[in-house]
A and B are shown apart, each in its own frame.
Chain A
Amino acid sequence: MPSTFDTVANIISETCDIPRETIKPESHAINDLGIDSLDFLDIAFAIDKAFGIKMPLEQWTQEVNDGKATTEQYFQLNNLCARIDELVAAKGA
């Protein structure tokens, strides 16, 4: 079974046509991979489908806009994968 990171990296690679080998756990989706909000919406849809969750994108965006969170907390891939794992765990609880 692929790891959360591998699944997310494959989705990003396919959705945004980014070479898979350039996508690292420490990559920042926006700053390093150049993914814009429109592409990220497609990625979020694919992640939701792959993991059977619903990422609270609107809440995350609002927290960043309000200065209550940094973009790294949600959009650096290792942190994003940790959030996904939390959502998956919450679903199964």
Chain B
Amino acid sequence: MRLEYFQLIDRIAELDLAQQTIRAEARVPTTSTIFEGHFPGYPLMPGVLLIEAMAQTSGWLVIAVTNFTRMPFFAALKEAKLRSFITPGQNLSLSAKLLHEGSGYAVTKADIRCDGKLACNAEITFRLVEFPNPEFRASMEKMAAILEFPRGAPAHG
């Protein structure tokens, strides 16, 4: 994770377009100014950032399913549950499954596991739009390479 750049996942580990699922990995940084305030003497990964991490994981799945023709923007969040504390240095496994794609929207079910234990989960809705400009799309292509997004891999990654 690079919290200062709002990059909440480190690597896309698996992408299965047939099952419409994705799994990503992330390590919570050991230090960040965020932990100075959240909370002093008791650093915890903020729940809103865990939700953003699930949204980013889901977003890459949507980008894969739509073959880089649409950009997903966070539109709605349902049944978000933050089940346990996540602390600096922990390794996270983030998964998402596509529930719906069409009519300009996508809906996913996402979760984060830590040491195999379910830490949080939610249902997330995205508004899908064309990439607003070529520069934006290029930046997403660049980020895809950083995240080892499996381009050209039609099935299990």
Taking beta carbons and an 8 Å cutoff, which residues of A are in contact with B?
37-38, 41, 44-45, 57-58, 60-61
B75 touches A58 (CB 8 A): no
Nearest Cβ on chain A to B20's Cβ, whole angstroms: 15
Q: A38-B75, A58-B103, A58-B104 are in contact. List 14 more A-B contacts (CB 8 A).
A: A37-B103, A37-B104, A37-B105, A38-B105, A38-B125, A38-B127, A41-B100, A41-B105, A41-B107, A41-B125, A45-B107, A57-B103, A58-B102, A61-B104
Residue in B76, B103, B104 whose Cβ sees the most chain A Cβ within 10 Å: B103
Q: Which residues of chain B have C-beta atoms less than 8 A from A45's C-beta?
A: 100, 107
Provide the bound-state CA to CA distance between A41 and B124, in Å.
Answer: 12
Instruction: Work out how many contacts link A and B, with CB atoms closer than 8 A.
Output: 24
Q: Which residues of chain B have C-beta atoms less than 8 A from A61's C-beta?
A: 103-104
Q: Which residues of chain B have C-beta atoms less than 8 A from A57's C-beta?
A: 102-103
User: Chain B: how many interface residues by the 8 Å CB criterion?
Assistant: 10
From 68 to 103 in chain B, residues with beta carbon under 8 angstroms from any chain A beta carbon are 75-76, 100, 102-103
In order of increasing CB-CB distance, the 9 nearest A-B pairs are: A58-B102, A57-B103, A58-B103, A61-B103, A41-B105, A38-B75, A38-B76, A57-B102, A37-B104
From 105 to 147 in chain B, residues with beta carbon under 8 angstroms from any chain A beta carbon are 105, 107, 125, 127
Q: Which residues of chain B have C-beta atoms less than 8 A from A37's C-beta?
A: 103-105
Q: Which residues of chain B have C-beta atoms less than 8 A from A58's C-beta?
A: 102-104
Provide the bound-state CA to CA distance between A58 and B102, in Å.
Answer: 5
Provide the bound-state CA to CA distance between A29 and B156, in Å.
Answer: 41
Q: Which residues of chain A have C-beta atoms less than 8 A from B103's C-beta?
A: 37, 41, 44, 57-58, 60-61
Q: Which residues of chain A have C-beta atoms less than 8 A from B125's C-beta?
A: 38, 41
Q: Which residues of chain A have C-beta atoms less than 8 A from B76's C-beta?
A: 38
Nearest Cβ on chain B to A59's Cβ, whole angstroms: 9
Q: Which residues of chain A have C-beta atoms less than 8 A from B102's C-beta?
A: 57-58
Q: Which residues of chain A have C-beta atoms less than 8 A from B107's C-beta?
A: 41, 45
Q: Which residues of chain A have C-beta atoms less than 8 A from B105's C-beta?
A: 37-38, 41
